[in-house]
Structure 1
């Protein structure tokens, strides 16, 4: 991950192209630092070509002077003077070519070693190879391979013909990936004069540009060339310590100091200004409690710890940034890791083409492609006919509720000259459900910790049976209201995890009969009560997230749907929904969060309406889609404007969100067919070629870890599906207001020295950010979290629990 040190100012040097003078200008920076009596370090991660032409040798030759502290080195050297990926392929050491992770770790290790040897303010320059999109050893372009390090950048512009374009294109490529660009250096060219255009261009964007006189044309005689280059550097970096390169040093030092000061001030400024969601500010006792996120990549935040180091008197050579595992997948949004370049480019592509455009009675390609994809190929396949766009999961659920209630009212309200919305309708749901924090979505839940003064619960909520692993036994726990009808049983053994989720096989079990009788009896009582009139069934399939990671028995949800659909009134002759419209809230569980594309095939039934968000856009920006069957749509379809679904959002079908969603789905579907997932499924005994593979349950968390976790004294029960891990801490008080899970796992916040060097990008030991739901702790992976990271996270969780 990114490194930031108080006494070691680091800059990475990228070139807008090959042959733009990157090594010469980097050497000048190194020489200027040395001439200012500042210890300076030069790193060339990859060098190709003859050793006599190596860039680190050039630096050693021309940046040194008597008594000056200059250290130059190269990490990976290849003889062929070609692109690094090709040089590695042509070498006799092809088997030793590092992966991107190993390559970045080698660079990060070198930075850390340098920092640990630094006792006074020092400089370090890391020079890349070729242009910004030149491949690294693995073939990944440099701009992506180096991104986990997130080092401030010096861009060397192109003074040649066409150099304005290559320089600006390089700048934009860096910008799209979040790089901080502190300085642009380039040669003056008396003919093309690119610098005259680029200086005001970058100045308008707040970036300093320093044009410098170019060197002479290279001489054939090595001795003469060495002499002339020495004269050139003496002019570029004079003994007077005045001029352009020294101005550049001062500017880079100021940029470094400004960045550290900004990060250091953020905790107090945040405490003075921000009102966080779901946080009791009275419990945030000091600025050191605030998590300052400087950047993020893959599964990790890069967090500032300088304000914490002051309190602990940590050594000044320690990095002010450290990696932190994003244990909640940033509130369940992350799908393929933070700052994924494909998603960023998709967002830029749509923003550049559309910005945002009005959607009613209009269309655009990203929205149409996404709608067709979701309806015909995705979660709506086989039942949905329409896609309605909104802003986020909560608003998507409000759309769903409006759809369902209107559909019910249209079928069950006597015809009147002027239709008026019915105010006496409610929903049937489950206790512990949560559908968002907008007022209407809150009204679709029972009274609880998330509701507010305006909350007016409109419906009835059943207490559901749950699935969990208790000390190695997979059991269904029945609520007291149901246990009394099941011969007093409170728990039922259901064999393995696979057997628990084999709904079709369980439909003829005695427990299914218990469920049917319980639901039928409840519906009868509700009908007799009459108010509110139940008009829709709303479910979070399989897992109710915010309610405490409640893994509902899928058999119960299937039986509940079957009984509801068999109840009066029956559908009209042309088909459509029956009994009550059924809504699936798949905002949390959809798009493989649980290892399944959608939950309908596992339950063996499809909804009439479903809602999708979060993973839909890979965690990059908010977007929601509500899918509906044709019979639901027809309830709004007429010649009267008043019959229309009069609901909308200014950013309906936001082109940027739709384009990102299309890109996300393409990546996710490839992951679902990847070797990584095949290996994870195999650990749970699943062969993807089997017919049951579409509905078989599995997890990216390993079976042996789950077994060890269930047997710990501190743990009451455990469940996992797909990316999700949840376990309940043994706590007599329990509930959402408990702090037991938070306290037991507190040690996870800090990095440990025992982790392997490949645990996080850059190889640094990492801490873990996590959130709890009272006595329930949960952790979430991305869909592409590496097996190495999974193993490290599992080990740390076990160690934290075993120490209590």
Structure 2
């Protein structure tokens, strides 16, 4: 199986990609000058030319031109199509199999690797047509070649309209993360585009514009034309100018390497990292990221045991197994999200939001409210991240409960929740969780609540089951196994068997005890299904459903409702008992395979909070959704009764536009069936009947048999679970589980090395651990091929560590 593609960077090889602002602007002429001059100046170095895709008659192909006028240059064309038209049309007309984008890019890298010998060299990769001319698959070249991340040269258009064409082409490359090192174009004394472009690019970007006199026109006589071109290429001014260009490009290459080599050391001296004990972290522990695309970072590869030879690749692909702290949904550097951000930046920049509205915020609100299919929710409050969004939610819940039950403003209110919950690191959000690694050493922390213990789900020794801790066995009895994960999620069938009754007794008893102690609560706060940072705990969905139901029917355990001051009639779907808040920052928006994880529970929250996948990992944004009954609590002639919460960048248009694009794209992916390859692999138990077919909406991209196989590695593995795009491996630790455990450190280090026998593989996995739990999180665009590769490496690493 092929390794994931890594970007093109070697110490020994300077690689540059040449784009054209349009067709027939002279890309091949400039490439010939570059390769010819490089061969003369660096006589002992290999100079190579690559044309990934070429169209038109083979005897007029660009590599033929290079061979004739730049002798000694190694030339290669990957795909030659005889028809002189766009590559996607030519590929179809050829009748030959159309190469996938991955295949084309892999061949580009393979050729570059062949050129990267121990001696230094040059490789120039020339594209076809203009920046947005399609490749064989139909994807435009600007998007197609992003993963190569080669620094680029843009050949501008010297003809009428060429100024606009050149600037537009440059912006298309720039917005996709290409480093355009120089603009090259011919001089045309009629239009003098070069004069305007020299000033424009220098003033706005500091990028040099190199202009040359135009080559001679064709006269129809091949020999005379060739002689004229030879004289042109031999011109002193052409050679001198190209020499300057190449010397600059050589410095660019060295500067890039120097910057990458020194970045980790500088970072260790000046940067204060999140969630990191920096006394344990040195420069060698800091991952230097050159770029990112799709599911992968491009990171500096570690040296092998003999040091780093000059022809070793500098970069390797590192699978982003934490989804960059759970934000990645549509992949790094996704062009659709990038363009959405650019559109909003260009149209609005940032505009204040108090008593104002703009289309991105309005459209996103409508999309989220419709997508949730929650009859209780009708309002949306924007903030900047999950932690502050949760603080908004708790402000809403506390106020609603206080007014409902007539409590004094000085009354201490807490929250109900689950042990090990995590709702963020701002001071208010920390107070909504029980004491733990994230908050107990914070000077202002004061846990305000009561947190229940709960049963969890794990696959152990190939069997899915509900597990209970020792302190819960007196309430729930021993755990129980089920034929499949689908059966655990079949809540109605479990309720029909009365499985929830013990949960009801336990919860009611706990709430009665709190009431007897005089404790008062303002909200029930839950991370539905999965407790993320608290240890990737998979909570029995029946327990969470029962908890919500008990709270909603137990107003008598929280207080005595007073007459609403406004005298208004009760609104539909008004909250009862306590406002129910769902923290869907991690688990929402398809992370677990569904738009909202509340659908697993069959209950609707009164308030829900959404971030992370909301913007596909591009910019911060959070949305706190609330019911109309919660909203009306804050209505009053007195401004001080309002929800006085906000941020300078509340509902910033860039975030809203990106989120709108992200959510709509994931919805479209679901409608197109792009996850069917995972859904159809069978997470229903083998003995399931035809009546169980509807259960296929509980699914994971991680193969069922792979999950079971992992769970059978009982020497190291306590249990495993997988749902949607998330896989969590709970490892055994005789010292006990929890954040302070180091049980998963060895597995993380093995994944970081990759496949190459301890020397650092051509690709690796950058993962995070939560104590004894290692989790691997894919994005919503991760391919089946990547999952197979990751599954293989995970199993190898587990077995290696026995």
Matched residue of 1:475: which SS? strand
Q: Aligned pair 1:442/2:430, yes or no?
A: yes
Contact 1:187 1:214 in 2 (8 A): yes
Q: Of the candidates 46, 65, 73, which is equivalent to residue 70 of structure 1?
A: 73
What is the Cα deviation at residue 691 of structure 1? Answer: 10
How far apart, in 2, do the equivalents of 1:312 and 1:388 lie?
57
Which residue of the partner structure matches residue 518 of structure 2? 530
How far apart, in 2, do the equivalents of 1:637 and 1:578 lie?
19
How far apart, in 2, do the equivalents of 1:153 and 1:439 lie?
47
Q: Of the candidates 342, 350, 353, which is equivalent to residue 344 of structure 2?
A: 350
How far apart, in 1, do the equivalents of 2:431 and 2:191 lie?
67
Q: Of the candidates 262, 271, 274, which is equivalent to residue 274 of structure 1?
A: 271
What is the Cα deviation at residue 480 of structure 1? Answer: 3.2
Q: Aligned pair 1:783/2:776, yes or no?
A: no
What is the Cα deviation at residue 752 of structure 1? Answer: 2.3
Contact 2:118 2:309 in 1 (8 A): no
In 2 relative to 1, CA 52–215 (structure 1 residues): closer, same or farther, beyond 3 Å?
same
How far apart, in 2, do the equivalents of 1:380 and 1:692 lie?
23
Which residue of the partner structure matches residue 403 of structure 1? 396
Which residue of the partner structure matches residue 118 of structure 2? 119
Contact 2:524 2:579 in 1 (8 A): yes
Contact 1:28 1:236 in 2 (8 A): no
Aligned length: 772
Q: Aligned pair 1:697/2:698, yes or no?
A: yes
Contact 1:684 1:699 in 2 (8 A): no
Q: Aligned pair 1:88/2:91, yes or no?
A: yes
Which residue of the partner structure matches residue 213 of structure 1? 213
Which residue of the partner structure matches residue 585 of structure 2? 587
How far apart, in 2, do the equivalents of 1:582 and 1:608 lie?
5
TM alignment of 1:524-563, pairs within 5 A: 524-531=512-519, 533-563=520-550
What is the Cα deviation at residue 676 of structure 1? Answer: 3.5
Q: Aligned pair 1:105/2:106, yes or no?
A: yes
Contact 2:485 2:683 in 1 (8 A): no
Q: Aligned pair 1:394/2:387, yes or no?
A: yes
Matched residue of 1:46: which SS? strand
How far apart, in 1, do the equivalents of 2:608 and 2:682 lie?
29
Which residue of the partner structure matches residue 722 of structure 2? 720
TM alignment of 1:429-508, pairs within 5 A: 429-451=417-439, 452-486=442-476, 489-508=477-496
What is the Cα deviation at residue 456 of structure 1? Answer: 0.3
TM-score of the pair, normalised by structure 1: 0.94
Deviation by residue 1:623-678 (Cα, 9 ceiling, x = unmatched): 00000011100100122111110000110001000000110011101221334412
Matched residue of 2:496: which SS? coil
What is the Cα deviation at residue 453 of structure 1? Answer: 1.5
Deviation by residue 1:511-543 (Cα, 9 ceiling, x = unmatched): 311100000111100001013x12210000000
How far apart, in 2, do the equivalents of 1:236 and 1:790 lie?
55
Deviation by residue 1:155-174 (Cα, 9 ceiling, x = unmatched): 00110011110100011000
Q: For structure 1, which runs of at least 5 residues remain unmatched after alignment?
A: 415-419, 755-763
In 2 relative to 1, CA 696–83 (structure 1 residues): closer, same or farther, beyond 3 Å?
closer
Contact 1:299 1:785 in 2 (8 A): yes
Q: Of the candidates 287, 291, 300, which is equivalent to residue 291 of structure 1?
A: 287
What is the Cα deviation at residue 423 of structure 1? Answer: 4.3
What is the Cα deviation at residue 690 of structure 1? Answer: 9.2
How far apart, in 2, do the equivalents of 1:371 and 1:691 lie?
35
Q: Of the candidates 741, 744, 749, which is equivalent to residue 747 of structure 2?
A: 744
Q: Of the candidates 11, 21, 33, which is equivalent to residue 6 of structure 1?
A: 11
Deviation by residue 1:87-140 (Cα, 9 ceiling, x = unmatched): 1111131x2x2101111111111111111xx23221110000000000001110
Deviation by residue 1:450-475 (Cα, 9 ceiling, x = unmatched): 00121000010001111111111211
What is the Cα deviation at residue 288 of structure 1? Answer: 2.0
Q: Aligned pair 1:27/2:27, yes or no?
A: no
How far apart, in 2, do the equivalents of 1:380 and 1:393 lie?
21
What is the Cα deviation at residue 202 of structure 1? Answer: 1.1
Deviation larger for 198-207 or 362-371: 198-207
Contact 1:596 1:694 in 2 (8 A): no
How far apart, in 2, do the equivalents of 1:619 and 1:211 lie?
40
What is the Cα deviation at residue 751 of structure 1? Answer: 3.2
TM-score of the pair, normalised by structure 2: 0.94
Contact 1:602 1:695 in 2 (8 A): no
How far apart, in 2, do the equivalents of 1:744 and 1:151 lie?
33
Deviation larger for 497-506 or 785-794: 497-506
Which residue of the partner structure matches residue 519 of structure 1? 507
Which residue of the partner structure matches residue 225 of structure 2? 225
What is the Cα deviation at residue 684 of structure 1? Answer: 2.5
How far apart, in 1, do the equivalents of 2:114 and 2:75 lie?
13
Which residue of the partner structure matches residue 598 of structure 1? 596
Which residue of the partner structure matches residue 176 of structure 1? 175
Which residue of the partner structure matches residue 731 of structure 2? 729
Q: Aligned pair 1:138/2:137, yes or no?
A: yes
Deviation by residue 1:317-338 (Cα, 9 ceiling, x = unmatched): 1111111110111110000110
How far apart, in 2, do the equivalents of 1:744 and 1:143 lie?
38
User: RMSD of the alignment, in Å?
Assistant: 1.9
Which residue of the partner structure matches residue 642 of structure 1? 640
Matched residue of 1:402: which SS? helix
Matched residue of 2:350: which SS? coil
Matched residue of 2:390: which SS? helix
Q: Aligned pair 1:249/2:246, yes or no?
A: yes
Q: Of the candidates 794, 798, 804, which is equivalent to residue 791 of structure 2?
A: 794
How far apart, in 2, do the equivalents of 1:638 and 1:2 lie?
59
How far apart, in 2, do the equivalents of 1:288 and 1:577 lie?
53
Contact 1:745 1:801 in 2 (8 A): no
How far apart, in 1, do the equivalents of 2:411 and 2:387 lie?
21
Which residue of the partner structure matches residue 44 of structure 1? 51
What is the Cα deviation at residue 694 of structure 1? Answer: 8.4
Contact 1:301 1:323 in 2 (8 A): yes
Matched residue of 1:378: which SS? helix
TM alignment of 1:299-378, pairs within 5 A: 299-305=295-301, 308-309=302-303, 312-375=306-369, 377-378=370-371
How far apart, in 2, do the equivalents of 1:389 and 1:676 lie?
30
Which residue of the partner structure matches residue 200 of structure 2? 201
Which residue of the partner structure matches residue 67 of structure 2? 60
TM alignment of 1:146-157, pairs within 5 A: 146-157=145-156
Contact 1:608 1:629 in 2 (8 A): yes
What is the Cα deviation at residue 476 of structure 1? Answer: 1.0
Deviation by residue 1:319-361 (Cα, 9 ceiling, x = unmatched): 1111111011111000011000000000000000000101111
What is the Cα deviation at residue 559 of structure 1? Answer: 0.7
Contact 1:601 1:694 in 2 (8 A): no
Which residue of the partner structure matches residue 760 of structure 1? none
Q: Of the candidates 372, 397, 400, which is equivalent to residue 379 of structure 1?
A: 372
Deviation larger for 253-262 or 377-386: 377-386
How far apart, in 2, do the equivalents of 1:83 and 1:782 lie?
33
In 2 relative to 1, CA 423–202 (structure 1 residues): closer, same or farther, beyond 3 Å?
farther
Contact 1:32 1:237 in 2 (8 A): no
